[in-house]
Chains A and B, each alone.
Chain A
Amino acid sequence: MNKTIQWVSFVLAAVAINIPAFLLASFTLFGTSEGTSIFSIDYAVAALIVILANGSIAALFLAINRNYARGFFYALVASVAEAICLYIVLVTFNMNVLLITGIVIVINIVLLIYIITSTKAKPVMHKQS
């Protein structure tokens, strides 16, 4: 698949996932009092939500970088599924949908690990003397 299309889909997936991810993370900071250190539990929970949500984005990035076409396809499907789940959670705040979103995020983390282990990084080109 064309590299440009792959990177465009990467950017779209990143935006579509991070908008609800950051909003949900900010909801967890709702009860945090002003002046709380950024290294507190509240901020750690918010950061964890954002990091976990970006698992599929990381998988997408690696698949594109390592020219792994099948991995790109799987990661794109996973990203879209996660984006849809996050949007529904944001709109409905339904616990069942939240559970499904959690399962999707776990699957995406597994996919990320799969892509990392099944592909190698691009070899570094050394200049010949």
Chain B
Amino acid sequence: MKDNHDMDQLFNFDHKEKDLITSAKRKSTWRMTWISGLVSVLILTLVVLIKLQLTPWLLDREIIAQEFYYEVHGANTFVGLWDESIRLIGSSAKAPRYKLVQGQPVYRGDVTNDSSPVEVHVSADPLQAYDYYGNKMMQFIHPQTASSDVPNDLFGMDAMLDNTIIEMGVSFNDAYSLDSVRRMLPEGLDLQWVWVDAFPVIEEEEAFEMILTENEVIGYPLIDETGKEIMDPIEHFMDVLEIGKDRGGRYKQEIASIQAAMHETRTLDETTKNVIGAVVIGDKEALRNLRNDPMVRATSVGAIVHPVIGKGEMENE
């Protein structure tokens, strides 16, 4: 009977039936592999999308931390616009660091999102420091330093050209108020940055037997990154410290301790005596007037520029 024949064929495991099972197994394995591969690709796509969206946020946090560091440290040093490079692996951001000398920027190397602010400088003479780009770095001496061996570049600038505009780092013999410093400065000099005493009070003077470079001193600018005068520089500095102690990233603690040092004096305004140095800009003639100033203890040249366009006078018709 036909039914019996069909039943016999169903249970007759000859060579043809084995091929069927092998074929079914192969198809099942292929389907599982294909689906697993596709799911892996989809999961990988999700991971890539998450990485691309999280990276800018993480990078911005590091950028902000670097900006807060250079807002507080670095005499007359500013950070330019950041150039971000977002990639799957190895994202980075870079910005130029520059000084402003009478509105003219002077390039001083780059800052990256993860660069260390510790700068190595070259100096055969301890009173003359240079960075690896060949730029002269300003040096500052704390008023409590006992050493009489201090830089006096004010007396060595006569060899420079007459129209040279010089950035001069000035260290005072004591702490003065911003008001006093402004009154003391001779005509023709621009006050662009001041060094404030953020050191803890200590008894021994030996701790200050060191010369600080321009990247190690703490202070606030009197001009912004475009060269425009800041209306209330002290309030701006205190705002930076307040925000920086939360958003300063790896520098949070340092900024918090600077803020604590600033608040040790009850009032903080232009009459508070905590200014121990400054960065002034001017030509040789204007700077010469500082030579006999009793407030000035040490002077150190920084950036030097030769004006591209002179300040000519309009001819009257």
Chain A residues engaging chain B, CB cutoff 8 angstroms: 1, 5, 8-9, 12-13, 15-16, 19-20, 73, 76-77, 79-80, 83-84, 87, 90
Contacts and interface: CB of A to CB of B under 8 A. Distances in A.
B42 A77 contact: yes
Contacts, number: 43
Q: By DSSP majority rule, is chain B's interface helix, strand, loop, or mixed?
A: helix
Contacts of B42: 9, 76-77, 80
Q: By DSSP majority rule, is chain A's interface helix, strand, loop, or mixed?
A: helix
B81 interface: no
B46 interface: yes
Interface of B: 35-36, 39, 42-43, 45-47, 49-50, 52-54
B47 A12 contact: yes
Contact of A13 (B46, B52, B53): B46
Contact of A76 (B39, B53, B54): B39
B46 A83 contact: yes
Given A12-B50, A15-B50, A16-B50, A84 B45 contact: yes
Contacts of A1: 35-36, 39
A19 B50 CA distance: 8
Contacts of A79: 46
B186 to A, nearest CB: 50
Given A80-B45, A80-B46, A9 B39 contact: yes
Given A19-B53, A84-B45, 4 more contacts: A9-B46, A79-B46, A83-B45, A84-B49
Interface centre among B35, B36, B45, B49 (most CB of A within 10 A): B49
A6 B266 CA distance: 61
B39 A5 contact: yes
Nearest to A77: B42
A84 B50 CA distance: 10
